[in-house]
Amino acid sequence: MGRSPCCEKAHTNKGAWTKEEDQRLIDYIRVHGEGCWRSLPKAAGLLRCGKSCRLRWINYLRPDLKRGNFTDEEDELIIKLHSLLGNKWSLIAGRLPGRTDNEIKNYWNTHIKRKLMNQGIDPQTHRPLNEKTTTTTTTTTTTTTTTTTGAVKPSTNRVTQLNFENASPQSISEINLLKSNIDFNYSNFSPIKTESVEENNCTSSGMTTDEEHHHRYHHHQERESSHENEEVNLELTIALAPTRNELTPRYSSNTADSKLQQQAPYQLLEKIVTGTVCTCCQLGSQRSEMCRNCQNSNGFYRYYYY
């Protein structure tokens, strides 16, 4: 038995949104908050599919959206994040406040891809276009595979393949920080329903912006608590998963980690991509100290970024 369609297609508008439709959607969300997209069109008096409403809001009408061209810093950040995450546009968008996944995806396809090609770089693998055979290391939270194909397809594989070389031990915790940082930002910038919306069956949350931020932070912490003694699986597989102890100080105190946390994202990434990590640490067998086997730079992999 197939699933029911998300909306009654025969009675829904398609194509470009009119100003009136936009205004209806804005007015409705202003009063009732986000969420319950399926029932929203009817409630708001819109002849639109719920998904369409959600997309319109997230990609175009949301008040916190940044308008205008991408800056050079944003360009760089997108390229770096893409080299780490592949086509995980929502994760990338999570690192660029005010930008949407759709916007970044379009920007990538129309600008950055061409720019990289012109520089002789394969936009999918971030390697030189004429490079033929390479060695890559693939890691997941459960399995580890080494391939010699060099064929990296981050958009279809649920694995991000990375090469590292000359990694310093402190980079490991920085990489972990990046992972958790991305997760944190992802939860922050994703359209999360507020509890009150859920509890009140899609009525207004009545929260101020500050309350909402606090709520989201709290929500995030609750999520972390629920993952106690678990590895955090972000599907990033950049390095070993952080432990609870490594995650906790991120939001408090003046620890080195929390200072790192406050750095501009591209600065953090700059440190990471030029940093180093040994293979066994990368695979999760060691923690913040370099293992003996790797103290001579044997078995290091280079992470390419140009």
Partner DNA sequence: AATCAACACAACCGCACCAGG
Partner DNA sequence: ACCTGGTGCGGTTGTGTTGAT
Told to check if 106 binds DNA by CB under 7 A, we report yes
Told to check if 111 binds DNA by CB under 7 A, we report yes
CB-count burial class (<10 Å; 0-12, 13-18, 19+) for 226 = exposed
Exactly one of 24, 54, 82, 99 binds DNA (CB under 7 A); that residue is 54
Considering only 29-37, 128-136, 256-264, 282-290, which stretch makes contact with DNA by CB under 7 A? 29-37
Is residue 94 within 8 A of residue 178, CB to CB? The reply is no
Considering only 7-15, 75-83, 133-141, 263-271, which stretch makes contact with DNA by CB under 7 A? 7-15
Considering only 33-41, 241-249, 271-279, 282-290, which stretch makes contact with DNA by CB under 7 A? 33-41
Told to check if 186 binds DNA by CB under 7 A, we report yes
Tell me the residue length of the chain. 306
Is residue 189 within 8 A of residue 249, CB to CB? The reply is no
Going 164 to 241 to 175 to 212, the CA torsion angle's sign is positive
Told to check if 10 binds DNA by CB under 7 A, we report no
Told to check if 107 binds DNA by CB under 7 A, we report yes
Exactly one of 26, 75, 105, 284 binds DNA (CB under 7 A); that residue is 105
Contacts with DNA, 141-160, as mask; x by CB under 7 A: --------------xx-x--
Is residue 97 within 8 A of residue 66, CB to CB? The reply is yes
Is residue 150 within 8 A of residue 135, CB to CB? The reply is yes
Is residue 110 within 8 A of residue 69, CB to CB? The reply is no
Q: Least distance to DNA from the beta carbon of 161, Å?
A: 15
Instruction: Please say which residue, 62 or 287, places its beta carbon nearer to DNA.
Output: 62
Q: SS3 of 263, please?
A: coil
Exactly one of 30, 51, 214, 227 binds DNA (CB under 7 A); that residue is 51
Told to check if 102 binds DNA by CB under 7 A, we report yes
Query: Which candidate, 60, 68, 159, 157, places its Cα nearest to that of 102?
Result: 60
Told to check if 49 binds DNA by CB under 7 A, we report yes
Q: Least distance to DNA from the beta carbon of 104, Å?
A: 9
Told to check if 59 binds DNA by CB under 7 A, we report yes
Instruction: Please say which residue, 32 or 127, places its beta carbon nearer to DNA.
Output: 32
Supply the DSSP string of 192-224, one letter for each residue.
PPPHHHHHTTS------HHHHHHHHHHHHHHHH
Instruction: Please say which residue, 4 or 254, places its beta carbon nearer to DNA.
Output: 4
CB-count burial class (<10 Å; 0-12, 13-18, 19+) for 257 = buried
Query: Which candidate, 301, 19, 305, places its Cα nearest to that of 147?
Result: 301
* Binding site residues, DNA, CB under 7 A: 1, 3-4, 6, 13-17, 35-39, 48-52, 54-56, 59-60, 87-91, 101-103, 105-107, 109-111, 155-156, 158, 186, 190-193
